[in-house]
Amino acid sequence: MFFKILPIILFIFSFVNCVATAEKCPPLNLTTDTGNPIPKLGAETKIGDIIQMPISCTGKDKKDVYMFFNGNIGGPSHPKNEPITAHLHCIDGKWKYTENGVSIVITQVSCISA
């Protein structure tokens, strides 16, 4: 009896595992203040079981540009006067950004040009 049920159990486990790893993330909240650039989303790509999406900020009038996450968390480190790109990864249904081994969940992105 056990050997008849085993293939069904393995199929269900494989199906559930596949659905869980291919989970989509919610849209990001992209915000801007007057005079600041609007964050630009790149195309989503799948690398293995992970969905990745670049997001970038480009400064205006050769001013320095900064990216912020969730209102007040500084984004990626970058050289001055150049576009910033962060590569977000969809993990467990949440967009995450990792730098120097530290990951944070991202729901909102903004750009500031100063």
pLDDT above 70 covers a percentage of the chain that reads: 78
| pLDDT at position 18 | 35
Q: What is the pLDDT of residues 66-75, one digit of tens each?
A: 999 998 899 8
Residues contacting residue 55 through CB under 8 Å, at least 6 positions apart: 28, 39, 40, 41, 42, 67, 85, 86, 88, 109
| pLDDT at position 20 | 43
Lowest pLDDT segment from 25-34, 79-88, 98-107: 79-88
pTM above 0.75, yes or no: no
Which DSSP state fits 25? Answer: P
**Could you tell me the residue ranges of all domains in the chain?**
25-113
Q: What is the pLDDT of residues 53-95, one digit of tens each?
A: 999 998 877 788 899 999 889 988 776 767 899 999 999 999 9
